[in-house]
Amino acid sequence: MAMDRRRRFGRVRSGVLIALVVALTLGWEAGAPKAEAGEATPGATPGQVAAGPGSLASLLARIPDVLSMPGTPKFDIATYADIGGQLAAVGVAAPSDPDDPAAEEWSRATVGLTIPSPLREQGLNPVWADTFGFGALDLDQALTIGEPPSQTTLMRGRFDVAAVRDAWRRNGYRAREIDGVTIASRPEGAGSDLSTDVGRLTLGAFDQMAFLDDETLVAARTADAVAAVLAVAAGTRPSLAERAEIAALLRTAPPDLASAAIVSGAALRGSDAAALLEGGTEPAQANALATRIATDIAEREAMPPVRFVLIGVTAGGPVALPRDADGPTPTPPPAATPEAQIAIRVLFADRAAAEAATPLVGRRLADGTSALTQQPYAGFFPDPRLTVAASEPVLALDLRAEGRPQAVIWQMLYARDLGFLAW
């Protein structure tokens, strides 16, 4: 029985990943209507930050300012997923059991969200629920800060607290007190023991865990990382949301983001020109490449330095439908399903820099080409809208990914293919 459940988990996971790859490359079959050209989700009113219990802003207010701590992330500062908001927008209910056929529908509806990788990869695996007392289907929102191996994950959801604590006891966690709060702790370094389910599923990323309240769990590799979150809750350490640069991005972002990433400006630095020449080229190719490098350098030098970037996708469709001709006819999402929008907020040193960058970014979107696909950016994002925030040095860029899932923006980000923002 356990083997059958694991095989079903593997089929669901493989099928959804294949659907995403095909969709990113070719566009996908979808049941959501397209918005009219030029429609975009406006940013929040400057000075107004969404504070709902599961919003990006509210979760950032519960974790420490990782930018002021040792081991400051070089590129990836935070990623966020509002699973509950996305499911509500596309009319999909979360099943309670990974064996339920509806789990595949859940996976397709959430495939474009930046769900923490251990949960994305293993959260529907029945072994996960046996090990931790909850699974991906129980989550409403999740936030991860930092870069491997020093990441902290905050999860909000519908937890059976007694079941979670029982799973901790059965899997080698021991009670430990930090500033009067009891956490579940495994020995430092235990995550490298792949003979345990905890080690195999998370490689140590969930070795230290604690409830902040009955609906919120924190997990990290070290007790110090959990202690930092507890210090924010106690008011003795500033949160990431309080940091001026992050607050500026939040004030200009849409309040209904279903997925988001905050990265440093270094994540948008152009490619190293010398690396492009590694391996040698024929003379004609070398001349063409040299011309391209010179053009790229000139373009990058024209762009003011970028400090931080928030990239987000609002809740909605299109949602990929199964392509298995022998399978049951899929039920399309409701006709009222909103089309997800891509919202990018770029923080500069001052408003003059943001204004100088605006026409340059617009020109790159109109005339530039994706290095990853060798296709024009205009084919991906035909109707960009660029504005400078009224009271922040922030360039607001709202996009629609024509004929493709909005998750294409994550593929571009992690492939360093956002050339229209490179500096």
- Tokens standing for 154? 């905050």
62 strand-pairing partners:
none
Looking at residue 380, its amino acid is F
Structural domain that includes position 148: 1-423
pLDDT for position 382: 92
pLDDT for position 6: 45
* Three-class secondary structure of residue 102 per DSSP: helix
**Distance of alpha carbon 212 from alpha carbon 217, whole angstroms:** 6
pLDDT for position 48: 37
Widest pairwise Cα distance in the chain: 69
pLDDT for position 195: 85
Residues whose CB falls within 8 Å of the CB of residue 191, separated by 6 or more in sequence, listed in order: 198, 199, 202, 203, 204, 205, 206, 207, 221
Phi, psi of 258 (to 5 degrees): -95, -15
pLDDT for position 318: 81
What is the tally of structural domains in the chain? Answer: 1
Give me the helix-helix angle, 102-110 and 83-90, nearest 10°: 110
pLDDT for position 194: 86
**Strands, DSSP E only, in 226-376?**
257-264, 308-314, 342-347
Alpha helices in 61-187 (DSSP H): 83-90, 102-110, 117-122, 126-132, 161-170
pLDDT for position 285: 61
Low-confidence ranges of the chain (pLDDT < 50): 1-50, 272-277, 325-330
211 strand-pairing partners:
217
pLDDT for position 260: 98
Could you read off the pLDDT of 275-323 as tens digits, one per residue?
Answer: 444 555 566 665 665 565 556 666 777 899 999 999 999 999 887 655 5
For 55-60, the CB contacts below 8 A with 24+ separation are 55/82, 55/255, 55/257, 56/80, 56/82, 56/143, 56/250, 56/253, 56/257, 56/260, 56/312, 57/241, 57/250, 59/141, 59/143, 59/154, 59/156, 60/143, 60/239, 60/240, 60/241, 60/246, 60/250
Among positive and negative, which fits the CA dihedral 90, 93, 97, 101? Answer: negative
DSSP label at 55? Answer: S
Total-model pTM:
0.82
**Distance of alpha carbon 139 from alpha carbon 112, whole angstroms:** 16
